[in-house]
Amino acid sequence: MTGKILKYLIFLILFLTSSNIFDSRDNYISRNEVDMNSFIKDMVSDSIESDTDVIDKYFTEGMSIDDIKSLLTNRPKNIKSTGKYEPIYYDFSNMLHYKDIEVMLYNMNRLDIVNLEQLYKTVDDRYIYGIEIGKGNKVIYIDAGIHAGEVGNTVILMQFLSEILNEYYTGNKDIINKLNNVKLAIIPCINPDGYEIYNFGKKSINNKNLWIYENYDKLNIEHLKSNANGVDINRNFPSQTGGLLFKKEKIMKSVAFDKSTKAGKHFPGYSLGSEQETKSCIYFMLKHYRNMYAYIDMHSQGRVIYNGKPNLSKEFNNLSRKFAKYISSYNKYKVHGLSAEEVGRGNDGTATDFMAELAHDFKFCLKTGRLCSSSYIDNKASLMYNYPVITMETLTTYTRNVELFKTEYYDKKLRDILYDMLDGNFIK
């Protein structure tokens, strides 16, 4: 009899814990309202990969358990809004300092439709920001500036946000309606140290003990990708693929096992998720992925779009391809096939890898310190959150020429695409 009651109680507990707040996907879930213990329970697993698997496949350490826990529990700061919104008329008139961008963001935060979050602070003393605009449930997530020399998209996003917020401020009904139906979640500049140093040179480095200051004269600044620590943030994500090197695969020439001043050599960090920039992204991604409608990671290397991931579900790859084609129908950027996204050759651990794995509901594994799923290698993971993931490479090369950004925004239709996406109904 006691056994029966016990069984019933266990069943009841399992039932109650499985129907947690995240299950109702139609309702917008704000992490601010979430009980963090249940979030950690939901995001962390300790039994998916064995230690031997890990040693065989990876050349970069995962995140430390303490770091994962602190990331899941330490909430960045919402910035209080003070004062009255001042319309912003920028239109690529000059190259923006990061300080100018901060002034613009703080001004935007004065509108009731905007929530600005101060994420983590970089090693050269600059805050990274996440800005949320809109009241809808569908999240359109865009980030830019992960690579130092790819500064154009930050400026392009600031121009776009200024325009729509000016229109919101002056009562444009169309924009007001749209912003009631979608939510933009944007990190306009993931790598502010890199942004400032690429644009304004050595004098903009505050902390003279940094790797970037000490090695500045040996660096090819025109092709700078890393942060001020010498880490390529776009290899530093604790995805299952992060630092992955399948046995027998040849490692890519572009991989560096230590900090390197050579152009085209990417150092993923001594451990994944080690950088403040990566942590900022992870925080903001975890906050939004369950409500995501689409994700774009903006880079600047030649008007192409990468989409999908070879080891993830067909559904996901089809959806990502559809999204890429939708964008290309406007700007004629070349849409790459899936084969352009290799796995296990040292180019892994990107922002899109991480977001693509979250779409398949991968959890943090405490043993490996990265996202994980046992169904990954067999290509059997199923899509849980229905959003596409693309890398959009704007412009033709690294440049700080604002005239070229302006051309890309107007003539290459980035403006039209961004406006059209506000409908929240663009993947048909």
Binding site for Zn ion (CB under 5 A): 147, 150, 299
Nearer Cβ to Zn ion (150/275) = 150
Edge-to-edge strand ranges of the sheet holding 363-365 = 44-45, 363-365, 370-372
Nearer Cβ to Zn ion (67/232) = 232
Strands 304-307 and 334-335 turn out to be parallel
Nearer Cβ to Zn ion (60/394) = 394
Using DSSP, state whether 98 is helix, strand or coil.
Answer: helix
The residues pairing with 184 across neighbouring beta strands, listed in sequence order, are 133, 140
H helix or E strand, kind and range, residue 391: strand 389-393
Which amino acid is present at 300?
A: S
CB of 195 to Zn ion, least distance (A): 12
CB of 113 to Zn ion, least distance (A): 30
CB of 80 to Zn ion, least distance (A): 34
CB of 228 to Zn ion, least distance (A): 17
Nearer Cβ to Zn ion (235/321) = 235
Distance of CA 106 to the CA centre of its chain: 21
Give the CA count within 13 Å in the CB-facing half-sphere of 279.
24
CB of 172 to Zn ion, least distance (A): 34
Q: How far apart are CA 148 and CA 154, in angstroms?
A: 11
Using DSSP, state whether 317 is helix, strand or coil.
Answer: helix
Nearer Cβ to Zn ion (72/233) = 233
Closest CA to 306 of 285, 291, 325, 290: 325
User: Virtual CA dihedral for 75, 381, 373, 364, nearest 10 degrees?
Assistant: 0
CB of 331 to Zn ion, least distance (A): 18
| Alpha carbon distances (Å) from 296 to 62, 77, 101, 184, 404 | 25, 24, 20, 11, 21
Name the closest residue to Zn ion (Cβ): 299
CB of 95 to Zn ion, least distance (A): 19
Nearer Cβ to Zn ion (299/406) = 299
Nearer Cβ to Zn ion (143/150) = 150
